[in-house]
Structure 1
Amino acid sequence: MSNTTRWVDTTNVSLEGILSKFLSDIEPKESQEKISYINFSVSKEFEENNFFKFGNKQIEYNIINFSFDSVFPGVLPIEDRTTPTTGVIIVYTLVNKVNYIIDKNTDALMILRLLLGYKNKLEIEKKSSDIHSKLLTWIISRLFKEENELVMTISPEDEKTLTLNSMVGFKGQTDDQISFVSANGDSILNILSTLSFLLESKMLKQIKLRLEFDKHENLEINLKDTQTISANVNKYDGPFDEYSSKPQKMAEIYLLIYLEIMPLLYLEYQKDVENEMWGVKEQKEFLTLVKDKLIAKINEKTQLMDEQ
């Protein structure tokens, strides 16, 4: 999956009811004047629903695989007017609501409505990922100052630690890297990369976070300015590697990111804002700190040159 978005179903239909809707026959939507949608294929990944442990809860979920063809109107041969679409949807229950994680963005709502046969408004609503430049600058400050461990207290006997290891910034949607920052604030490369990140932050289109969480030794998460989230499943190291099913591993990595990791990041950021530990003043102080460290490194180098 890549560039995922999250949605919630407001119809109060059960998980089994929603899965039945996905698997029911979908009539082709054919038109002479508008885009036609034909050749639907929908399947369920698991015969029986799986369960993902979330805190002290069990999240029930399944995976829907789908494909269809979009045909735009015109006089060209149909093969020249046809675009195939394939995708994956993680369907799960949370707080008595059915939720969807789908590997689509701008056309996600249209596809969900199409596959479910919905015709009314507000039957599905977006759950936006609150990714913004202030959050990213806060993350980079935590990395640079080596305050990169965040603790989630579930109960007095149960704590989970989220460790931010590094952050990579990109200008575009490809790997045109412009900065790399790790939890090693005193290296000259780290100082220069941090400064580059801060000065070029408005140009960043995506950032890649490498982190540890609880028993999950390595997770690589891409956050984009399009409010989408993706994970590099191949870079994952942790207990999900024991699964024989790749789709199960993929689904639970995304459930972990959406239900535990991102909420913890947002919570810690918001706490710092509310406790006046992060704001415009602190951002200026952070920029000054980076500048002073860079100047100190330059002065150190010139002093060594003078002594030679």
Structure 2
Amino acid sequence: MSHSSTPLRFGVIGNPIAHSRSPAIHAQFAQQAGLSLSYERILAPLDDFTTCCMDFFQQQGGKGLNVTVPFKEQAYQLAAHNLSPRARHAAAVNTLWQDEHGAIHGCNTDGIGLCTDLIRLGHAPEGKKILLIGAGGAARGVLFPLLEQGCQQVHIINRTRSRAAALHTNLAEHAPEYSHRVSTGGLEDHAGDWDIVINASSSSMSAHAPDLPLVRFTAQALAYDMYYADRPTAFMLSCSAAPHRSDGLGMLVAQAAASFEIWNGYKPNIVPVLEHLRAQLAAEHR
């Protein structure tokens, strides 16, 4: 691809936003694609997300936005008339773009980012029994894509079991063909032999891990934390019996790559970007 004379304009919007690694990730994707683009961090007021987005698209010539906390649900409402199936199931949007007619479109790439990383790690969801810990937005964003990938079962557990049940109810309403492969329970309902155990709760952010004394891992099982850090997370440390363990840094890069592909029609190679980011994390915390 040839370099454009006028950089394409993209960004990530959130509050807070200074910590975002998205600009560095997308700069590497652009280099792979031979594209000239700018990608900025945008701090949106908590009470004026929509105005900030529309100014980016309509006044500043923006092509696409990634959306992070706490605005994914508001982004869903902004793109309500042009949502991808994944966004509808997640009830949240992390990728926005404007078409040639000025309409705002929304997708959620978190789930495909997770699935892409699981495949990279050699743990494709197809045919697997999966234990999903947590029933908040992170879990909601990945449930449908995991089922799309053909997993045998997803068992959702949460401290408040009614929240886990609500995820199943929502799935049954919007994708009834998958509902028979989903079960739910409280945090204590985790006994079984699992191929993949995914922590979609916020526990690792506070350096705590869910208490899962009855979990049994199959011979090649993976314990996967959607949170990432410069060292093994609390969840990874608590899953010492798992044959394989990983944090969510690969998911971060893969969901960004899915957004980049939506906007630019180019699928980046996530491996060198992930390796660079991992090295950067290690260097920052020496």
Task: Flag whether TM exceeds 0.5 (same fold).
Answer: no
Larger helix percent = 2
Give TM-score, length-normalised by structure 1.
Answer: 0.24
Give TM-score, length-normalised by structure 2.
Answer: 0.26
